[in-house]
Chain A
Amino acid sequence: MKTDIKLSGVGGQGILSIATVIGEAATAAGLRLKQAEVHGMSQRGGDVQSDLRLSTDAIHSDLIPLGEADLILSMEPMEALRYLPYLSPSGAVVTASKPFVNIPDYPDETALLEELDALPKVMRMDIDAVARGLQAPRSANMVLLGMAAHHLGILGPDALRQAIRTVFGRKGAKVVEDNLKAFDAGYEGIQ
């Protein structure tokens, strides 16, 4: 059994924290894991992406082949669309719905969301608004992870909650609390 996840967003949005939490949960569950990311120039407001592969069996490639991602998990709607050729026929897209516009030629928002909604399995939410509503504006990425928990067949929500406690533990109880709250809001918001 395997789960291949394409994580995407814009530099600085916190996709690597999502990868760290999923990675921690996977390790604790005894799963195999490979996670490829690109550092360097790409972090400065450009598109960023990470391949996260979880499996009960050996994983060969660090990169996910075209058409094999079970999930595209994105902090930004256009960045979700960027990796569409990687999505498997039964794969899901879980994304923030609010565009992050830092380029002059950003596509028309209505057309973009229509294209997104036409895909077979899509969940999107204004995760920034949800996080602000919880008074935890820096935890938007955990709202997204909560939404994704419905599609991480290989890892249940409790495993992810425990990983949040482990990963953010050293930052103090308040940070853990905020992130758990955000996770639950994302998880329940799409039930």
Chain B
Amino acid sequence: MTGKRLLLGDEALALGALHAGLSGVYAYPGTPSTEITEFIQGDPLAKERGVRSRWCTNEKTAMEAALGMSYAGKRALVCMKHVGMNVCADAFVNAGITGVNGGIVVVAADDPSMHSSQNEQDSRFYGKFALVPILEPADQQECYDMMAHAFRLSEEVRLPVLVRIVTRLAHSRAAVAVGEAGPQNPLAPDGERGRWVLLPGNARRQYDALVAMQPDLRQRSLASPYNRFEDAGAPLGVIACGIAYNYVREALPDGISVLKVSQYPLPEDRVRELARACGRILVVEDGQPFAEEQVKGLLGPDYPVSGRLDGTLPRTGELNPDNVAKALGRPEGAVHAPAHNLAPRPPQLCQGCGHRDVYTALNQVLADYPEARVFGDIGCYTLGALPPYRAIDSCVDMGASITMAKGAADAGIHPAIAVIGDSTFTHSGMTSLLDAVNDNAAITVILSDNLTTAMTGGQDSAGTHKFEAICLALGVERAHLHVVIPLPKNMEEITRIIREEIEYKGVSVIIPQRECMQTLARKQRQKLANKA
């Protein structure tokens, strides 16, 4: 179906990948990347072609499965939020060493300003680290168009290609001109064993080849249609990376020379050209000063370069049309002062949510244990840190609750309690639990199971209906594994079990199990709709 479609940046990437002949998408949900995979799961063409799209257990399993599909000759897409890059880094970086057979595109959705994240790391560093090409679309149309370009590039240079977007593009909608779907790759396994068996002898050869390829990648950046030099003969030159281009053009539609950068390695010759044409350069990029540091290195200490490092733009937080306009010397736009009658309205656990009952029970018991520490994890239940519960003492990364509780218990903290959700547990908590069991750590794990990956909107959770079996298989004793239903009427039973297990000096797992209110309501609405 050609024509115009109203698409989120995420959806435009998904459709672009499908039209580029995708055979499989591998992903773990994570804001702001989730809608890419969801779009493919619901797309009729993907169904018709049997594009593989089920959620993966975590980003590492996703990246590795994509590498397997690539080995077999087909095109694979991997999607994640920025911190997912940390989880799949081992596979991602080594995929740069093996290289690919069928094209691999890895989409990392960064979250500057941390709308729903614990940091604002810039994924472009991972691309540079792995020495692979990076694409950074500026708008929804480029999201769509770049996917065909990315898969072609991946197969031409035989490397994975990283596509980096940010929240404001992932979750913004615009009309996108779409084309026809191209064919999928046939099955054509790679016969070249030396590329794929990364014994040191092979790996050294592969790494040398990867390094030797860098001038070619730079040449491709220079020739890329997505890197554009708009020379206005102005004294100020602006390097605008990805979405930053839109904010620059919003503030100043003309009168400045702009180098729009959407493909890396940085097109160094074009940067020099801009430097020669102008007297100073402003680097505008969302995230960390990735290009800015390189530009400074390239032009030397005497050439004036400003950006996030010298405070012309804020060092942290996302770009917006206002801070970019200010950096370009435009006056402040607000006419109305902020209102007086305002209060923050933070997100909350839903009314009726099972996590609420878990925290009520935990707080009730821990009132008698002032030394207790509760190690939280990533999910809706992280909101238990806020009033009225104020129930958790930490939240760091996926799976850290169990391992941090274990380390704290090793050091002598008691009670040491972990609170982790079902999807986070299968993502990265199972190995933590095995460590705790093997050390017979005195910890109490509360595996709060709402039968879904709730925070990202209710995607399937990898371990649903398997948690007791998983815990037993990892060595948790039957006598110290409990399933309870988190409801106010069961409060006495739940608090009694928590108390008993705190007193047990080994690993206990309590599984409060009740469906998420959001997915339950959605199913009921669906039922009603089906009746009507």
Contacts and interface: CB of A to CB of B under 8 A. Distances in A.
Interface stretch (A57-65, A124-132, A140-148): A57-65
Contact of A62 (B169, B345, B532): B169
A67 B334 contact: yes
A78 B342 contact: yes
Interface in B388-411: none
What 6 pairs across the A-B complex have the smallest Cβ distances? A46-B347, A40-B31, A40-B116, A81-B339, A67-B333, A61-B250
Contact of B250 (A38, A65, A89, A172): A65
A111 B300 CA distance: 57
Interface string B175-204: 100000000000000000000000000000
Nearest to B10: A39
Contacts of B341: 78, 81, 107-108, 111-112, 115
B192 to A, nearest CB: 42
Contacts of B343: 78, 103, 105-107
A42 B169 CA distance: 17
A54 to B, nearest CB: 11
Interface stretch (A27-35, A150-158, A182-190): A27-35
Contacts of B4: 27
A42 B335 contact: no
A88 interface: yes
B173 A87 contact: no
A68 interface: yes
B174 interface: yes
Contact of B175 (A33, A88, A172): A33
A39 B332 CA distance: 28
A87 B174 contact: no
Given A44-B348, A65-B322, A107-B343, A87 B246 contact: no
Interface string B316-341: 00001110010000001111111111
B172 A34 contact: yes
B173 A35 contact: yes
A79 B335 CA distance: 18
A112 to B, nearest CB: 4
Interface in A37-74: 37-47, 59-68
B32 interface: yes
Nearest to A35: B173
A33 B333 contact: no
A78 B334 CA distance: 19
5 contacts: A33-B173, A41-B380, A66-B322, A81-B341, A103-B344
Contact of A37 (B171, B243, B247, B456): B171
A164 interface: no
Interface residues of A, number: 53
B344 to A, nearest CB: 8
B241 to A, nearest CB: 15
Contacts of A36: 168, 171-173
Interface of B: 4, 6, 31-32, 34-35, 115-116, 167-169, 171-175, 243, 246-247, 249-251, 253, 320-322, 325, 332-350, 380, 383, 387, 455-457, 529, 532
A61 B339 contact: no
B116 A42 contact: yes
Contacts of A59: 174
A60 B246 contact: yes
A35 B529 contact: no
A15 to B, nearest CB: 14
Given A40-B31, A40-B455, A46-B347, A27 B175 contact: yes
B336 A82 contact: no
A36 B345 CA distance: 20
Contacts of B348: 44-46, 102
Nearest to A43: B347
B345 A81 contact: no
A136 interface: no
Contacts of B344: 47, 103
Contacts of A64: 321
B329 to A, nearest CB: 15
Contacts of B325: 65
Given A11-B347, A111-B341, A115-B340, A65 B6 contact: no
Nearest to A31: B175
A169 to B, nearest CB: 13
A39 B334 contact: no
A62 B347 contact: no
B345 A10 contact: yes
B31 A37 contact: no
Nearest to A23: B6
